[in-house]
Amino acid sequence: MIKQAFVPTIVLTLLLAGCGGEDLKQIRGTVTHNGKPVANLYLTFMPADPKTQPASSSSTDANGKFELKIGSKGGVVPGKYTVTASDPAAMMGGKSSDDPDYAVVCKKYAQGTSTYTMDVEKSISNLELKLD
C-alpha cells in the first residue's frame, strides 16, 4: 500500500524524469573571434530562467569546435540563453593562452558581463559562434 504523502512525490518525480531530455536540441559548432577559431574556451549557455531550464556547457578544442551538453548528456533545452565564455585554466590560477584576443573574449563574454543572447529552437550542427 502506498501512503498518500508519497503519491505527489512519485508523480512529481515521474514528471521531472519525463522532462529530462526528450526535446533536447543538439548544438555543435565553432567559436570564432575576428574570423579565427578560439581554442580552450569554456562556453556556458545560461538560461533566462535557471529555475525552469538547466545550463548547457562545452569546452572548445584546439580548432575552436564545441558540442553543448547538460552534464554528460548532449544537447540544450529549447529556450533563450546568454552565452558566456571563460578560461578554464584561469579558474585554477593558470592561463590557457597568451593571445590578447583570447583575453578580450574571456573578459567581454564573462558570466555577469556578457550580453550575447541566443534563442535555441532547433538543432544546429555547424553553428559559427562569432564572439567578436
What pLDDT is attached to residue 95?
Answer: 81
Structural domains of the chain ordered from first start: 22-130 (2.60.40.1120)
Average pLDDT rounded to a whole number, residues 85-96: 89
Estimate to the nearest angstrom the gap between the alpha carbon of 93 and the chain centroid. 23
**In the predicted structure, residue 21 carries a pLDDT above the cut 70:** no
Q: Is the pLDDT of residue 12 over 70?
A: no
pLDDT tens for each residue of 50-63: 998 999 999 999 99
Here the contacts of 4-9 (C-beta below 8 Å, separation 24 or greater) are none
* DSSP code, position 4: T
Question: Region 70-94: what's the mean pLDDT?
Answer: 94
